[in-house]
Amino acid sequence: MYRSSNIVARIFDRQICTPAPGTSVHHARRFYENLVPSYTVYEVECPDHSFRKFTDDGQYLISFSRNHQELIVFRPRWLSFSCNDEDCDKHDLPSKAKKFDSFFSQLYCVPLASCNELICKDFFLYMESNQFGLFATSTAQIHDAPAVGGAVHGVPSIEKITFHLLRLEDGEILDKKVFCNDFVNLTHNMGVFLYDDLLAIVSLRYQTIHILQIRDSGNLVDVRAIGEFCREDDELFLNSNAQGMALSDKNKQHQLPGNHIENHIHQDQPNLGHSFLSGIKQRLLSFIFRGLWNEERDDTLRIQRLRKNFYFHFQDYVDLIIWKVQFLDRHHLLIKFGSVDGGVSRNADHHPAFVAVYNMDTTEIVSFYQNSADELYLLFEQFCDHFHATSRNSMYMNFISSHSNNIHALEQLRSIKDKASSSSQFVKKMLASLPFSCQSQSPSPYFDQSLFRFDDKLISATDRHRQSTDHPIKFILRRHPYSLKFKIKPGPEAGSMDGRAKKISSFLFHPILPLALSVQQTLFLQPSVVNIHFRR
């Protein structure tokens, strides 16, 4: 639509021409080809905090103190100064441009963690509609914790995990949710998923998915807990039946006083842990059974098939645990099941994994796939955007490049597929990213694959730390004239002195303004080097 790459010509074109239907946002984003963060201020003097990210509406910059006990929130603003000379462009920026304060103003500093707790600096969720932020603090992890009270063996335990809900406007703590002697995977938001106002927290240790609602008033309200029980009245029903059995057992337990403290949570249901599988496991097993039963008509063939595919693997199915969960919409969850060993380890490639779609309202499993299933991969390839469940309020989520909405990303995926040695390995690798983690991609238009081309290994929309190189990372236009538009160079301008030290960098891009922070850290507790990249 734009005839020229000159910004003034484009503004005139915009006055006259209407873009094709449904592409008005894409055309507006093309102005980011002209407004790029091309100027870098190296080694800005900034407070020694660990900067986490910009909120997705660009209103706040979230950071944590070095000792991981306080939250500091900044408001991004722009550099402003005046110059009296005629040729202002030729002048260097004034010295105050090198200060962090010129770009960010501190709003408040709130202590979140008490003495023995630490803020989990990899965890942050933002609810844009109310400007609420969710943070987590936890005490130290205890490995080899004994499996008491229905806990899964092999999963570590944390004495106290607290989720804090804050109003980011003023830093007021609105509500807290505490989990005791539990384990929730907090790194990179893996164990928690926020969809609209619904929050799903996976307790790996007790194999329960807690669904909470964040109300406008700022309260965290329990909606349901899926795991041992599926429907809200399951527990009541089982309890009323178990009472008869429990009475006879209680008499026996009173004779063993030593057990009181450890078992006090489950004293009224002493037999349930042994005789019944958890509610969700029952749903899963019966779904698998029914699926296999339906495949054959003849009874003998059915039994053979069940014996081979179901009963042979029965114990493996029973031993599956919930690894990760995401919402697909307000009623459906995508649950990943796997073995205990893979649940907490980082590299889960060698462990079998399964993906199930669960309807929370009917409490039924809708479908169940192994993580190498081609059917699931086809859905992933075609409808990747729908796996990134986007709430109705955040429209920008629709424009984050993925291989389902962007031809260049799709080409990249296809080239990886063609190079892959084995198709099932490729499918497994791709499906390992399911379920997706919440809010892990930056909505900045500079990561839009149809606008810019950049090296995926050095920088991308996903906010993860990466290996740092001394070479600047180039952003090249995708369209004519295919020129280099800007470079992002982390670390000091002249490159660091110690070339051998391993450096990692993280990049924080403002979602709207042409402003980015690059933070380079060496692994020896030296202060990090922060550069500010902006459009001068």
Binding site for other proteins (CB under 8 A): 237, 241, 245, 290-291, 293-297, 328-329, 332, 357, 366-367, 375, 379, 383, 386-387
Least distance from other proteins to the Cβ atom of residue 196, Å: 14
Least distance from other proteins to the Cβ atom of residue 373, Å: 10
Q: Smaller CB distance to other proteins: residue 216 or 233?
A: 233
Structure tokens at 513: 């303004």
Nearest to 5 by CA among 482, 473, 514: 482
Q: Smaller CB distance to other proteins: residue 323 or 380?
A: 380
Nearest to 128 by CA among 195, 64, 78: 195
User: At 52, is the secondary structure helix, strand, or coil?
Assistant: strand
User: At 178, is the secondary structure helix, strand, or coil?
Assistant: strand
Least distance from other proteins to the Cβ atom of residue 383, Å: 4
Least distance from other proteins to the Cβ atom of residue 229, Å: 13
Q: Smaller CB distance to other proteins: residue 260 or 330?
A: 330
Residues 135 and 125: their CA atoms lie apart, in Å, by: 7
Least distance from other proteins to the Cβ atom of residue 357, Å: 5
Least distance from other proteins to the Cβ atom of residue 191, Å: 23
Q: Smaller CB distance to other proteins: residue 80 or 294?
A: 294
Quickly tell me which residue has 């094709």 as its tokens. 20
Query: Alpha carbon of 117 to those of 3, 145, 147, 163, 188: distances in Å?
Result: 58, 19, 23, 12, 18
DSSP structure string for 462-518: B---EE--SSPEEEEESSTT--EEEEE--S-TT--S-TTS-EEEEEEE-SSSSEEEE
Query: Each residue of 327-366: b (16+ CB within 10 Å) or e?
Result: bbeeebbbbbbbbbebbbeeebeeebbbbbbbebeebebe
Q: Smaller CB distance to other proteins: residue 290 or 465?
A: 290
Q: Smaller CB distance to other proteins: residue 71 or 400?
A: 400
Least distance from other proteins to the Cβ atom of residue 254, Å: 23
Cis geometry, peptide bond prior to residue 111 (ω within 30 degrees of 0): no
Q: Smaller CB distance to other proteins: residue 7 or 366?
A: 366
- All residues at 6 or more sequence positions from 505 whose CB lies less than 8 Å from its CB, including other chains: 465, 466, 467, 468, 490, 491, 518, 519, 520, 521
Nearest to 50 by CA among 415, 506, 408: 506
Least distance from other proteins to the Cβ atom of residue 27, Å: 25
Q: Smaller CB distance to other proteins: residue 61 or 288?
A: 288
- Neighbouring CB atoms inside 10 A of 290's CB total 11
Least distance from other proteins to the Cβ atom of residue 536, Å: 43
Residues 245 and 268: their CA atoms lie apart, in Å, by: 10
Q: Smaller CB distance to other proteins: residue 122 or 381?
A: 381
Least distance from other proteins to the Cβ atom of residue 259, Å: 25
Structure tokens at 47: 């407070």
Least distance from other proteins to the Cβ atom of residue 246, Å: 13
Q: Smaller CB distance to other proteins: residue 13 or 385?
A: 385
Q: Smaller CB distance to other proteins: residue 306 or 517?
A: 306
Distance of CA 455 to the CA centre of its chain: 22
Q: Smaller CB distance to other proteins: residue 295 or 455?
A: 295
Q: Smaller CB distance to other proteins: residue 130 or 326?
A: 326
User: At 339, is the secondary structure helix, strand, or coil?
Assistant: coil
**How long, in residues, is the chain?**
536
Residues 487 and 42: their CA atoms lie apart, in Å, by: 13
DSSP structure string for 441-468: B---GGG-TTTEE--TTT--SB---EE-
Residue 100 carries which DSSP code?
Answer: G
Residues 480 and 306: their CA atoms lie apart, in Å, by: 60
Structure tokens at 151: 């806990």
Cis geometry, peptide bond prior to residue 435 (ω within 30 degrees of 0): yes
Least distance from other proteins to the Cβ atom of residue 253, Å: 20
The letter for the amino acid at 57 is: D
Residues 189 and 130: their CA atoms lie apart, in Å, by: 20
> What are the helix (H) ranges across 141-191?
none
Tell me what percent of the chain is helix, strand and coil, each rounded to the nearest 5.
30, 30, 45
Q: Smaller CB distance to other proteins: residue 99 or 231?
A: 231
